[in-house]
Chain A
Amino acid sequence: MATGESTSTLRVRLPALIVGIVVLVFIGLVAYALQRSQSTSELGVGGRINTVGTLVRFTERAAPDFVLPDLRGGAAIRLADYRGKIVVLNFWASWCPPCREEAPILREFARRYAESGVVIIGIDVWEKNWNDGRAFLDEFGVPYPNAYDTEGRVTIEYGVSGVPETFFVSPDGRLLGKYTGPVKSVEQLVGLLNELGVAPATQ
């Protein structure tokens, strides 16, 4: 039908080729996304359970202050009272398996770095029964202060979307970053603090 056979077939084929290339580029992108996507959560009793860790940094964000009741029944816990120290704020729940894995590590960290200007504050969230949370503290012999957030205001204020989630607060009250998922070792936790530029004094 056309004079130049080869040019005409190319012209016929060109649009389909373009479509083909677009489709394959799409597949490539999906492959890339798949490579990068890590499944980070499962679901548990009260919400999402983070199983794989990622660190998110914050800049120029003040850590929202809070006053919450002590899970063990002591005096209310207030974030501002810890000004001058690095605060590791750990949101957890007793029904969350990674939180259980993490508890001994946090305890060990608290023990080793007791005198180094770092404090851990635990915040128990999304429990059906707060006694479960207290039992958790006893089971793991958690030494650091633990609060509980009955109405979830602090949890929402911090934007917690799963447990465990750990926030880092600088001595001057800035929110440095958050780590979703369980901390795997004391060294890792120290490493995270280093990454955020607030190294605890070594023992």
Chain B
Amino acid sequence: MAHLGSGALILALILAIYGIGASLLGARRRIPELLLSGYRATYAVAFLVAVALIALVVSFLRHDFRLAYVAGRSSRDMPLHYVIAAFYGGQEGSLLYWTLVASGLGALALYLHRRSDRALLPYMNATLLSVLTFLLLVLTVVSSPFRLLPVTPPDGAGLNPLLRDPGMMAHPPFLLSGYASFTVPFAFGMAALITGRLGSDWLRAIRRWTLLAWALLGLGLLIGAWWAYHVLGWGGYWGWDPVENLALLPWLTSTAFLHSVIVQERRGMLKVWNLALLLATFALSIFGTFIVRSGMLSSVHAFAVSRIGHWFLTFLALVLIVGIGLLVYRLPGLQSERQIESVTSREAGFLFNNLLFTAMAFAVFWGTTFPLFSELFWETRISVGPPFYNRVVGPLLLVLLLLMAIGPLLAWRRTDVRLLLRNVRWPATAGIGVGLVGLVLFSRPWAAIAYAVTVFAVGVTLQEFWRGTLARRRNARENVLVAAWELLRRNNRRYGGYLVHLAMLLMAVGIIASNAFQLERQFVLRPGEQGTIGPYTVVYRGLEDRRTADAEIVAAQVDIYRGQRYAGTVESFRFFYRNYEDQPTARMGITLVGMDDVYVVLDRWEDDGTASLRVYVNPLVIWIWIGGVVFVLGTVTLFWPQPVPALARVPQSVAGATSEA
């Protein structure tokens, strides 16, 4: 298996290099056979990488501890699903997975676009294969998952305990595939730059691919937050840890891209900016992958330092030099076709949106990389923690929410301000009302303002849905439900986008509340004793010792009462996995009472059963996860294939009239 795997990788590397040559030469000399051969090389690379990955998984399943990678991450007593999941539990395996996603999606893109975007494809293919060549080089030369141990140990060390959690089964694959999928839009963007075909074909080609990568990355971040909330035990879900920040960066820039690309599609503006965002997104993906493995930033996700740092940095420099170089070279051909006409236009709205997203990305980037330079220039180790980000990003988020409320109401080119005001009057009234009530009731004014803005934005979004539905009902004579459904289906780009907006707003509800109104108390209790936190009483029942095949578990049982009423029992766990006894992991005891999460952390305990418990009351956090579900629904809507008949029914005159807009 090891030889099969490493052989497949070497072959893939050779084919990838060949494919670059074939594509470039074929495009230059116009030899269709050579081009085809180049595409086939990509299919073959994807296939070979898949073979390598399967070989790795099979090695895990067969407990083949000759492989250093397998011995280092699995053991015989681990449950099957963790044995399988272990393949991405380390650097080599996760790079292999990265490569598989990039090559697989790349091959798929080549196949799907084989007819429509012929002129771009050779260069898209060459770019894709260049990225793959780099990854395969790393996988074969410096960081091979198929390296053999000189001596075969009878059992492996087992998977890092933090990865032995359901959340971790899903978080890395989504995050990594999000990173990796940005390769496809990047390849198309580079192809557009190389060929100089900077019209709208490449844009059409990449919008969905970017959307896919963006959705995967977003989902990965969300699952990561969920995991952190349930496992890390600081009562929160987002710690502004460098590794989290670095994953957030490409998500921020791609969100900006997905918005501003609409402006280019509709109005032919912002071409340079869009390409720059695309380049930045890909570069940040590489940067994120690189820096967490370079050991330069300290993080909760302290990855072992490895030698591939230099490789990634060199690659990143190449990507940026070529990318920026091409962009500069093509600049004259990227002039806007139109000019912006009014500050109160949809275009301008998107511009502000991009300003905010970019500013946010910059702030996060600045805070994350600053410690690097602090150490370099001032020889001082500093750490930039949550207070910095909350202070800097918080206000930007608030303005963004406000823009989310107004943006959808802006018309292209110019907005009639009176109409706009009329459209916002009810949501704005609701928002202001909530804000005033909040100012009176809440101890924190910022929370009242944030809620006012959120309610305003939710109001506008729902109003848009409602009016769209009513219009359909009137015109198509459908009942309300059918109308709403058809609205989403036929107009999926617009209303799918609004669904995502709604998801973000629901999350905002939870984020604001848990930041503003979290309660925390620490108790040292003997079994049977109790403590109170806010309206809740926690009764500590005692500890229980359990044992599984690969771990010893300590569980603290706590009854929760709201006032006098029993509201549930939670168990807060500590796991001690074999070989990792010094790195116990945990799972929090969390129960939802009304809209509050009561969150119990087992810190320490003594032989007589006395335990230190930390208890948090996190209000409305549940809305973050509900928002996550809506986010998934929204992205599914965005991907929903357009009903074709709609196009067929287009009267010629209308089609002609709209092509200008």
A–B contact, 8 Å CB criterion (strictly below): yes
**Residues in chain A within 8 A of chain B (CB atoms):** 9, 12-13, 16-17, 19-20, 23-24, 27, 29-34, 36-37, 39, 43-45, 95
Closest Cβ of chain A to B325, distance in Å, is: 7
Q: Which residues of B contact A32 (CB under 8 A)?
A: 376
Q: Is B332 a contact of A37 with CB atoms below 8 Å?
A: no
B331 touches A9 (CB 8 A): yes
Assess the B317–A34 pair: CB atoms within 8 A. no
Give the residues in chain B near A9, CB-CB below 8 Å.
331-332
Residue of A12, A19, A23, A31 with most chain B CB atoms under a 10 A cut-off: A23
Check B376 against A39 for contact (C-beta < 8 Å): no
Is residue B476 within 8 Å, beta carbon to beta carbon, of the partner chain? no
Report whether B582 and A17 are in contact in the complex, using a CB–CB cutoff of 8 Å.
Answer: no
Tell me whether A12 and B324 are in contact (CB under 8 A): no
Residues of chain A within 8 A (CB-CB) of B305 are 39
Interchain CB contact under 8 A, A36 and B376: yes
Residue B327 lies at the interface, judged by CB distance under 8 Å to chain A: yes
Cα A68 to Cα B559 with chains together (Å):
43
B-chain residues with CB within 8 Å of residue A44 when the two chains form the complex: 582
Given the known interface contacts A12-B332, A16-B272, A43-B302, the answer about A33 and B372 at a Cβ–Cβ threshold of 8 Å is yes
Residues of B within 8 Å of A20, CB to CB, are: 320, 324-325, 327-328
What 1/0 mask marks residues of chain B from 309 to 335 whose CB sits below 8 Å from any chain A CB? Answer: 110010011001100110110011001
- Residues of chain A lying within 8 A (CB to CB) of residue B321: 24
Count: A-B pairs, CB below 8 Å: 66
Name the residue of chain B whose CB is nearest to the CB of A95: B582
- 10 A-B interface contacts by CB (under 8 A): A12-B331, A12-B335, A19-B276, A23-B320, A27-B313, A27-B317, A30-B291, A31-B317, A34-B294, A39-B305
- Tell me which residues across on chain A come within 8 A of B310, comparing CB atoms: 31, 34
Closest to A17 in B: B328
Complex CA–CA separation, A16 to B280 (angstroms): 13
Give the residue of A16, A23, A39, A43 whose beta carbon is less than 8 angstroms from that of B295: A39
The 8 A-B residue pairs with the shortest CB-CB distance in the complex, in nearest-first order: A20-B324, A39-B305, A45-B582, A39-B295, A16-B328, A27-B317, A33-B376, A37-B296
Q: Is there an interface contact between A31 and B331, defined as CB atoms closer than 8 Å?
A: no
Residues of B within 8 A of A23 (CB): 320, 324
- CB within 8 A of A13: which of B309, B313, B331, B582? B331
User: In the complex the two chains form, what is the Cα distance from A34 to B276 in whole Å?
Assistant: 26
A9 to B310, CA, bound (A): 36
With A27-B313, A29-B376 known as contacts, the answer to whether A16 contacts B331 (CB < 8 A) is yes
A13 and B328 contacting across the interface, CB-CB below 8 Å: yes
With A16-B272, A16-B328 as contacts: A34 and B296 at CB distance below 8 Å = yes
Look across to chain A and name the residue whose beta carbon is closest to the beta carbon of B309: A34
CB-CB under 8 A from B272, the residues of chain A are 16
**Which residues of the partner chain A approach B291 to less than 8 Å between Cβ atoms?**
30
Give the contacting residue for A33; candidates B276, B296, B324; CB below 8 A: B296
Q: Is the CB of B313 within 8 A of A16?
A: no
- Would you give the shortest CB distance from B371 to chain A, in whole angstroms? 10
15 other contacts beyond A24-B320, A33-B375, A37-B294, with CB at 8 A cut-off?
Answer: A16-B328, A16-B331, A20-B327, A20-B328, A23-B324, A24-B321, A27-B316, A27-B317, A30-B313, A31-B310, A34-B296, A34-B310, A36-B376, A39-B305, A95-B582
Chain B 66-87 interface 0/1 with A at a Cβ cutoff of 8 Å (1 = within): 0000000000000000000000
Residue B373 at the A interface, CB < 8 A?
yes
CA separation between A66 and B465, bound complex, in Å? Answer: 71
Shortest CB-to-CB span from B304 to chain A, Å, is 8
When distances are taken between beta carbons in the complex, the residues of chain A under 8 Å from B325 are 20
Indicate if the CB atoms of A33 and B317 lie closer than 8 Å.
no
Residues of A within 8 A of B332 (CB): 9, 12-13
> Whose C-beta in chain B lies nearest to the C-beta of A37?
B296
- Chain B residues contacting A31 (CB-CB under 8 Å) are 310, 313, 317
* Cα distance, A99 to B373, chains bound together (Å): 31
Residue of B nearest to A28 (CB): B317
Q: Are A33 and B373 in contact (CB under 8 A)?
A: yes
CB contacts (< 8 Å) of A30 on chain B: these are 291, 296, 313, 369, 372
